[in-house]
Structure formats: structure tokens, C-alpha cells
Structure 1
Amino acid sequence: MTPLPTSVPTNNTNCSHIVTKEWIFSVVPIYILLITVLGMVLNVFVLVVFWFHKKPCTVAEIYLSNLAAADLILVTCLPFWAINVSNDYNWPFGTPLCKVVNLGISMNAYSSIYFLILVSLDRYVALVHTMSYGRMRRPKYAKLGCLMVWALGILLSVPVLIYRQVTAKCNTNICHLNHPNTRVRLLSEVLMTMFIFIIPISIISYCAVKIIWALKNRLKEGSNRQEMEHKATSLVLAVLLAFLICWVPFHLVRMVEMLITAKLLKVDETILDIFFQIFTYFAFFNSVLNPILYVIIGQTFRKKVKELFLQSSSGVTFSLISRRSDRSTTKSTAVS
């Protein structure tokens, strides 16, 4: 299921559970547009620093730059949904954009999770299995891993491309996942829960525990190299924690919704829909939070920003000196 809610029922013709809270139609679009602007500016800034710095990216930076790219594409798709919400969830863009926009959101949301897995595994290998698997931490393998993650994100989003459509219900044209029956919907949600929540969270949690344990042991050694590893790992742990805080509530609500669909649990649909709205838009804040963490916690990143600024300043200064020199030469030639 794509991480976007609708305010109208999509599985039956009953319109009695429509959420008509005014704050959804007034506050949510502004919040989404704010997330969009901040996400675009901050993630573009991160990509510029990583891509235009004179030194090549490390393995961890390759993963983090791809994570920033995924966040950037995700927030680029959000304005369409802001307009949809402000229009009382009456989708005005037609079925093709309904599929494409939600495909972009889903693909990059799912890809982000697996980029974090790659980051976790990289730190795990760097700190726990340095000698045995250290050779695998090479840029070419990192780039190959990123390509595989993008492909996996597209694969996991295929149901969105197939089942997303615009349907007229409750006097509204809603853009939603229209599964052929309840069995297909349950199967799809169970698989999605496994691949985008249970498996990723298990891997990330295991790596995080091992990383923290290894850091405690290595800090006792007190070498400069261990301090550098600690600084790099602190940023990764902060990014992982931010992901867990932002996305776990959303996935828990999805699991509750799945149990309701399977008729294993009864919860008031209006309350569930409100929580789904809140946790969905809270999850999108993660795309803004990551670049902020790079600046606050990432000492290496801040160093790269300063070096890139000095590099740009030197380039501008050199260009101005060259122009003045050319003008002086031209004037001298004209006088002679």
C-alpha cells in the first residue's frame, strides 16, 4: 500500500465514515507544501556538496547521497497530493498522473528504507567485521548496491502502478488503490509489511545494536582512527533513529488497518483514519530531517561544505583575476 491516505472509504460504498475534519483540508496542504520546499532545498544542498566536492565520495556518502536523491524525488511528488487534499480529496489530475505520482512517492519511500539498510550494513562491516569483509566496502560495490535498491523500489511499487486508479465514490473522484478483491488486498499488504517494515527494521535494529556494542569496545582503545569511526557512525545512528521515529508509527497503523481488513480486529474507522493521516504526514518529515542531521551531527559533512565554499570562492577569484588580466592585456595592446 502506498504511504498516502484517502479521506473516503475505498472498499465499500458506505459513505458514513468520511473524515470531514476541517484541519485536514486547511492545515495539511500547507504542511505538505512546507515539507516540499524544505525537502527540495535541503536535499539539493546535500547532493551539491557530495557531487561537486573535489574529493570522491566514500561508501557511506554514496549511500547517503542516494538517500537524499530518493527524498528529493519523494517531496517533488507531494505538491500534487497537497492540491488533492485542499480539493477535499477530489483528484483533479486524471488516472495517468494518479499512477505516476503515487508510483514516485512509493518507489522512493521504499528505496529510502533499503538505502538505510545499506548504510547500516556498511557501518556494521566497518566496525564489527573490518578484517573479514572490509574489501567489500568499495565505491564500485556501493554503486552497484544502489542500482539494485532503485530496481527493488520500482519492483515493490508495481502494485501501485497496477491498482492505482481514479474512482467516483461518495460524489468524489478519489485516487486510491483499487484491489480486485479483499484476498488480493490482504496478500499485497502482508507482502508489503514484510518487505518494507518487518525485514528492514529487523536488519537495521540488529546492525544498530552490534554497532553500538562495537563502539563501546573501540572507544576504550582511544586511537584517532577510532574517533573518526565514532564520528561517522554517530551520524548514521542519528539517521537511523530519525527513520524509526518518523516511519514506525505509520507502519503500525497500517498493520492495524490490515488486521481490520482481515476481520481480526475492530476499531472505529474515523479514529483510525485520523491517526493514519497524522502518521503519514509525520513520516514525510523524515525527508527534511535527514539533511538537517547531516549539518548538525556530520562533522565530515560540515568540513566538506566549508571546503566546497572555499573551492567555489577560489574559482570565482581566479575568474575575476583572469578577466582583469585579459582587460589589461587588451588595453596595453591597443595603446602600443
Structure 2
Amino acid sequence: MDVNASDPCSNYTEAWLWLSSLQPAYLGLISIVGMVGNGLVLCVFFLQRKPCTVADIYLANLAAADLVMLSCLPFWAVTIAQGYQWEFGEVLCKLVNVAISANYICSVLFLMLVSLDRYLALVKPMNPSRLRRAAWAKRICLGIWILGFLLNLPILLFRTVKYAEDPGVYACILSYPQPNWRVHHNIAKNVLGFVIPVLVVGYSTYHIVAALKSGRPIRLPGLRAERKATNLVLAVLAVFLICWAPHQVMCFLDTLDYFDLTPACLWGHVLDICIQLSSYLAYSNSAINPFLFVIVGKHFRRKAKEVFGKTLNPWSKDITYLTVSFTSVKRLNETHRISLGKLETFGLKQTVT
């Protein structure tokens, strides 16, 4: 394909082809890592003996949201590898993208709830709150799942498989009935998927750090546990901002582009590529979450050892029982021999007397 070097948009096709060549491998990698990590997290929460705490409920729902989204990414990895030819039918075109977008919002809101729960546990430990009750936590999680689905009803209605002339394939595209629908979708994603969570997480983090530095008594096992909790919240906020901020900025710029407030040809092409890159950076947050929130936590590692220790070594209980039984029998025999010896000695003394 001949390209005019003097055309300011001439490098767009080459850049897009380069990006498309990297996307399938990247999507496959984060899908595998994320599904394994979030799957292990869910196994620990479901198989643990003790009832789930409020934090466990939020983290389990976060892992479930990340797992659902990551399990849908391989469909797009295959599609991109085939030049954006969608081979999975219109039903899956709708369902896969609804699942990605819905969990895209749900995972962020569950992340926000984790930070809020940390705030209530560390800053206001003596003030009872319904948000720290397991029953209310489950209701809130159910409400977030419903909200995530309702916000993505337009995707369910308007995602379809159509022939795209530019790549010359039948692609799974989002065909809005009106152009301004794109603006409304971007605004909802900016507000619910970034602005509100950042404000809540930032507020929670600020007050947690302030409470720890003020020297006020906080009912925690020790200073080390307090520092770990603070570091975890700060790490959550940092990784969240790194993964999500670029995508939210690109969505905002895409809204400006709709109103023709940005440069023309070249800017539009660069914006398209940046939106793709930022989207996959945001997806990677779902693969990082299990390691960041749970697996690095001492409390979770103890749960994981209990759960997987019994799963990987199912005979441990029987071996322990046999060992205890053998030891008990041995001690009983020794006690019996000692008793017989005492009786014999006692009888001998009586005879001598």
C-alpha cells in the first residue's frame, strides 16, 4: 500500500497495524494471569471455614468482576488477530461487550468500597455503621451489579455485527442511533468510572493517613498492622490512578473531539490509537488486583495456606489422626504396664509382710 509521506495522516495506518499486531498477545497474557489470580482468590473465599467479613465480600465481588471481564478478552484477542473479523455471532457480540463494559464499571466501584471499608475500620472503629455489616455489604454489591448492567443497556441494544468497508470485514461495532449517545456514554464513564471513585478513595486515604500520624488510638493488633493497612490503601490508589487515569483522560478528549474542539485529521487518528492503548492499560488493573489487594496480604496468605494446604494434601487429616491414635495407644500400653508393675510390687510386698 503506497502512502504519501507528505500527508500528516499517512502514518496512521502503519501505527494501527503495529498496535494490532501487539494487542492479541497482550490481551492473552493479562487474561491468563488475571483469570488464574482472581480464580485463586475466589477459591480461598468460598472454601474458607470462617464466614466472610465485609472486606472479604467486597474483595470477592471485585475478583468476580475482574474474572468475568478478563474471561471475555480472549474473544477480542482472536478477533484482532483475524483483522477485526468477528466470528462468534451477534449474540456473543452483544453479551461479551456488555460483560466487559459492565464489569469495567463494577470493578472500579468495588475497589471504591474496599477503600471505604478501610476508612471505616481504621478511622472510625468505634462508630458502628451499617456499611460494615455483612448483610448490608451483600445488598450493596447486588445493587452495584444491577447498576453496572443498567448502565450498559445501550451496548446490549446497539452492539451488532456489520460489514465495515475500511477493513473489509464483518465487525462487532457499537452503532448508536444518534451521535450524541457517544458523549453521554463518555460522561457516564468519566463520572461513575473515575471521578466518584477517585474522590472517595482519595478522601479515605487522606483521613487514614491523618489518623495514623495524629497518634490517636486505633484498635488494631499493632503498629505494624496499621502501617501495612495504610500502605495497602496507598498502593490501591496509586495503581488505580496509573491504570485508569490515562483512559479517562482519553474519554474526555474524545468528548471534546465530538464538539470539534480539537485539531482535525492527525489528532483524530492519534486519539483513536491512544484510546485503544489506554483501554488495555485499564484492563491490566484487573490482572493486578488479586496480587495488590489480597495475595500480598498476610491475612489472606494465612487463609490460602489453610485452604490449599488441605486441598493439596487431603491425607493430612487422616495421617494426623493415625499419628494421634498410635501415640494414644502407645501411651495407654505404657500406662497399663506401669499399673501392672505397681500391682505386682504391691502383691510382693504383702507376701513378704
TM-score tier after normalising by the smaller chain length? 0.7 to 0.9
* Correspondent of 1:162 among 157, 161, 166: 157
For residues 292-331 of structure 1, the aligned pairs below 5 Å read 292-294=291-293, 297-312=296-311, 315-319=314-318
Corresponding residue number in structure 2 for 1:86: 81
Aligned to 1:13: none
Query: CA RMSD, aligned part only?
Result: 2.7
Structure 1 residue 253: Cα displacement: 0.7
Q: Deviations over 1:144-200 (max 9, x none)?
A: 111111111111111211221222222232222211222232233223322222222
Indicate the residue corresponding to 2:245 in structure 1.
248
Q: Which runs of 5+ in 2 are unaligned?
A: 1-10, 323-353
Q: Deviations over 1:174-233 (max 9, x none)?
A: 222211222232233223322222222222222222222222224887963554344344
2:260 to 235, 260, 263: 263
TM-score (norm 2): 0.79
Trace 1:155-304 onto structure 2 (pairs within 5 A). Answer: 155-169=150-164, 170=166, 171-218=168-215, 224-225=221-222, 227-266=224-263, 268-294=267-293, 297-304=296-303
Tell me if the contact between 2:12 and 2:270 (Cα under 8 Å) persists in the aligned partners. Answer: no
SS of 2:187 mapped into structure 1: helix
Give 3-state SS (helix, strand or coil) of 1:266's partner: coil
Give the aligned residue type for 2:280: Y
Query: Which blocks of at least 5 consecutive residues in structure 1 are unaligned?
Result: 1-15, 324-336
- Measured in 2, the distance between the counterparts of 1:279 and 1:147 equals 29
Percent identity reads: 42
Contact residue 24 and residue 85 of structure 1 kept, 8 A:
no
Query: What is aligned with 1:55?
Result: 50
Contact between 1:36 and 1:75, CA under 8 Å: does it hold in 2?
A: yes
Give the aligned residue type for 1:250.
Answer: H
Q: Distance in 1 between matches of 2:216 and 2:24?
A: 46
Q: 2: distance between equivalents of 1:72 and 1:201?
A: 22
For 2:252, the aligned partner's letter is M
Q: State the Cα deviation string for residues 225-265 of structure 1 (Å, max 9, x = none).
A: 55434434433432332222111111111111111012122
CA–CA distance in structure 1, aligned partners of residues 218 and 63 of structure 2: 34
Which of these two proteins has the greater Rg computed from alpha carbons? 2
Q: Following the alignment from structure 1 to structure 2, what is the Cα–Cα distance between the partners of residues 279 and 227?
A: 36
User: Under a length normalisation based on structure 1, what TM-score does the superposition of the two structures give?
Assistant: 0.83
Q: Please say if 1:147 is aligned against 2:142.
A: yes
Contact 1:235 1:294 survives alignment (8 Å): yes
Which AA in structure 2 matches 1:97? L
Partners in 1 of 2:305 and 2:94 — Cα distance? 41
